Amino acid sequence: MDDWRIERLARTHIGGRFDCGQPSLNDFLRTLVSQYEKRNLGRTYVAVRGTDPQVFGYYTIASGAVAFDHLPAEAAKKLPRHPLPVVLVARLAVDRTVQGQRLGEKLMLNALARSLELSDELGIHAVVVDAIDQQAKAFYQKYRFIPLLDSEFHLYLPITTIRTLLKP
């Protein structure tokens, strides 16, 4: 059954039962997300099924910057030596009840497509993530994210690569 819809978080969505296995990601959805939305610190998009308001997955994006010195040498070529504008995928999580059904992939591709759309309106050089653990790092590397020099879990994907990945 692939009737997932990804939409902007609304008050009508139910996230209280959400459990992805990572307490910090569960707590964010249950207790902090509304404050982040109100204060314009991030935008959260949720995966729901049919007319059910239960949240089965989500991601949060925000603007950010990556220090030039953190870029791998190959990525730094022909770029100015100052922080580069990025979209930060701050969180991405899937409820345990639907893990293994490729919902994480659907959420990631939606975040990348949304970032690509944003890049048409303002300067965005890449999408970055801070993988929470080795398993998350491996997930992002499937989409060609590469480690930055400051941390093996701080990963980077140029908009040019996203454009190639999402070509119809």
Residue of 59, 140, 143, 156 marked catalytic = 140
Residue with tokens 């944003």: 118
Task: Output the tens digit of pLDDT for each of the chain's 168 residues.
Answer: 468 999 999 999 999 999 999 999 999 999 999 999 999 999 999 999 988 999 999 999 999 999 999 999 888 888 899 999 999 999 999 999 999 999 999 999 999 999 999 999 999 999 999 999 999 999 999 999 999 999 999 999 999 999 999 987
Structure tokens at 165: 């990945």
Residue 98: which domain range? 4-165
Q: Residue 26 belongs to a domain with what CATH number?
A: 3.40.630.30
- Where helices occur in the chain by DSSP H, the ranges are 23-27, 33-38, 73-76, 103-119, 134-141, 159-165
Structure tokens at 85: 């504008």
Give residue 167's pLDDT. Answer: 84
DSSP letters of 29-63?
IIIIHHHHHHTTS-EEEEEEETTEEEEEEEEEEEE
Question: Given strand 84-94, what is the order of strands in its sheet?
Answer: 4-8, 43-49, 52-66, 84-94, 126-130, 154-158, 146-147
Q: Which of 115, 101, 100 is nearest to 165 (CA)?
A: 115
Give residue 2's pLDDT. Answer: 67
Number of structural domains found in the chain:
1
Mean pLDDT of the chain: 94
Catalytic (active site) residue 143: no
Q: What is the pTM of this model?
A: 0.94
> Residues with Cβ < 8 Å from 14, sequence gap 6 or more?
53, 54, 55
